[in-house]
Structure 1
């Protein structure tokens, strides 16, 4: 499809947040903010998702998972993510992800999974306690790296922004993808006629200064440590939490070190260069911890307050959030589904015709392919579609403000089955009196009508 070909010329970046709790300042500074900034780059094809399958590994409270999905969806949008510019979806809305997980599971060495940090930590904890090494360890925890690899490889992402504690998972995704390519790459190339490898091996991307924020106790801000500051806490709650940040016993007037100071690291994450240097000087001048915490509260509140208002409005409109995510899932599946079809055929699944094609020494000439609509976004920011068959463009659309507008018109054309397409003037194609696009080079209106009629036969 054209959308994929345009994406091929851009760097695809993918990231997500596990839906096990309320988003906190660490999530914002370490993942959401840099991701939203990256999404504005016209050379970046951005994929963002709610990792709700991953949530089931850590959480057994359905109400908490459901609430977290809503909160995190609202958080991304409140923080400035534009669903019209990116692909924003729920992991559980993409059936190709668990399908790919199984394909990858069948090529993943158990020894590789034995080395995963989370699994090793669980085993070490059990061993120290005198328990069976695998006590309380679920297959979900053990297989987490494979699911994460499927999240990434299903969309052939080039880069994945993560914290340093997640680097191993990206390395494992590369190992798993490389193994799949080695075992099934030849079959994939024979089936598709494409060069290269079926799966793109991702690179790690880390924001060095804000990849990990300290929590209230100085350790990494994490729900598992119960030391987080909720991103959209009310001002009075935010101030109370900031004032509870652990500091040393140095008195007012006594110079303080910025190195290793949790409070300074938090301030730096929400301040510009000038503000950061001013705080650095204040530390050297002996600012009191109470005054430093007040400055931190004011800096965070100045950043968060506008987003908090948007967040409240979004939380109150779950139907709107659902529509946004469903539209995102449709865009995501337009990328993942064709790839999964190719991968399944490459491993010997799919229709019997696919297996015969792999074994044929001289493939039979391909029959004419059915017509297909392809939706994409151009550099002018508008959304287009085309109806193509084989290598011919039968219909090229006008530009549209949103992918939904383009998609609705595609649906109308399919439903019309060509019967309502009329009044072609200077190659302008009209549906119900409205211009929808232009005929391709050398295409007759009869060919367009015949192609549209095939959608009625499929229905």
Structure 2
């Protein structure tokens, strides 16, 4: 069975070498696995919680999108989109807000951390806490549940948010599912084996420590200068060096083949100087990063190409999100106000039949067969996809007339050309009732 895997990409800061090894490279590799349907999104709504600088938000979205594309993300295979291009996400956030207990949000790690800081400083517990910070786990739950993701790769510190998404999805299913599981309950895929690169000073590579090696920033010169600043011990050329635990060696091994690692370690033990070792590392990194950097520079020079990719991804994502949200709206009672004809106690006459919605079947010039359901004013409620056989189209019309909304999940419907799902369900119910 195909499983959906969803990955959110925070749009703050500029990616460095550690981000590439720990997150970007393994995620792209995982997206190529068979049986996986991958969704990658730029979490730019989430970025607004942490940053109120519009220029930084804009620049970071561009740089991060360009980085993932340059690193080899296949946008024909995966769905790559911006969170802010999916209007169904904030709408689902509100639906989930209405079933989420405040006490659940009180226990969120980020909120508790903020109140702990305020308590230690003698401030009001909620000083400086925005509703964005307080309720962002609900937005994260909407990101996941909207696409019914089965797996969400996260670090251990994010597992709580996946559990919260499960709680909200389960509550929604119980209240509004009427026996159906509207939401798949996601599971966290904990990234225990995430590669962590040391920075220039030997600590974990992090912008917080100002010890990062740029992935693309500064070009080949910036990369070489950063590698030159990696801290090593004071052993001179000719003296044996222990490769175990050396930051330079750890970075090297993250990009080297097993044969290259073995040779590098042996040469260090034989007295290879740190200066030459650093040059070898630069050569190794350049061999892999230079082609990606070239693509990155080209993309950054043409942001309209990135925009086109993201709009294409948003359209793919909305083909999933739009009909599903229509189903969720109907589930909570946000349905079109239609006069639904009731079955009369006596045989219906011509006038009564004329008031019912009507199926129409037709064939286009390309030879494909279509059907659609229209209301009494001729407005299209359901529009089918093209089918190669007229009998197949007729079979679907028969099923929809008799099974009503129960047949919609499998029916070949073009939802982009159809009306709201709730209106179509009401019309099908009317047709089914008239046949009883």
**Rounded Cα–Cα distance in structure 2 between residues aligned with 1:211 and 1:313:** 29
Q: Could you tell me how far apart the structure 1 residues matched to 2:244 and 2:303 are?
A: 43
Structure 1, unpaired ranges of 5+: 1-8, 190-194, 358-365, 372-384, 397-437, 448-454
Question: What does residue range 292-303 of structure 1 map to in structure 2 within 5 Å?
Answer: 292-303=277-288
1:149 aligns with 2:141: yes
2:33 to 28, 38, 41: 41
| Aligned Cα root-mean-square deviation (Å) | 3.7
Q: Distance in 1 between matches of 2:283 and 2:93?
A: 45
CA distance in 2, matches of 1:178, 1:244: 51
For 2:328 and 2:385, locate their aligned partners in 1 and report how far apart those are by CA, in whole Å: 29
CA distance in 1, matches of 2:92, 2:359: 26
- The 3 A distance-change label for structure 1 pair 330 and 457 is closer
Judging changes above 3 Å, is the alpha-carbon distance between structure 1 residues 149 and 386 closer, same or farther for their aligned structure 2 residues? farther
* Alignment size in residue pairs: 372
Shift of 1:67: 1.1
Partner of 2:125: helix, strand, or coil? coil
Map Cα deviations across residues 217-268 of structure 1 (whole Å, 9 max, x no partner): 4444344444333321211111222233345667764553635x54444333
- Partners of 2:78 and 2:95 lie apart in 1 by 27
Q: Radius of gyration: which is bigger?
A: 2
The CA deviation at 1:394 is: 6.7
Residue 319 of structure 1: how far off its partner (Å): 1.6
For the pair 1:322 / 2:322, whether they are aligned, the reply is no
CA separation of 1:442/1:90 partners in 2, compared to 1, >3 Å: closer, same or farther? closer
Distance 2:339 2:251 in 1: 56
Corresponding residue to 1:344 among 305, 311, 329: 329
TM-score (normalizing by structure 2): 0.74
Instruction: Tell me the distance in 1 between the aligned counterparts of 2:268 and 2:360.
Output: 69
- The alpha-carbon distance between structure 1 residues 66 and 121, as it changes in their structure 2 partners (threshold 3 A), is same
2:229 corresponds, among 216, 227, 244, to: 244
1:256 aligned residue: 242
Would the aligned equivalents of 1:14 and 1:161 in 2 still touch at CA under 8 Å? yes
Corresponding residue SS for 1:270: coil
Is the Cα contact below 8 Å between 1:163 and 1:212 reproduced in 2?
no
Q: Cα 1:20–1:46, aligned 2, differ >3 Å: closer, same or farther?
A: same
Q: Find out whether 1:395 has 2:381 as its counterpart.
A: no
Distance 2:168 2:235 in 1: 50
1:202 match? 186
* Map of 1:72 onto structure 2: 64
Residue 128 and residue 319 in structure 1: after superposition, are their counterparts in 2 closer, same or farther (change >3 A)?
same
Aligned match of 2:172 in 177, 180, 196?
180
1:105 aligns with 2:97: yes
**Counterpart in the other structure of 2:158:** 166
Which blocks of at least 5 consecutive residues in structure 2 are unaligned? 343-355, 362-367, 374-381, 398-415, 420-436
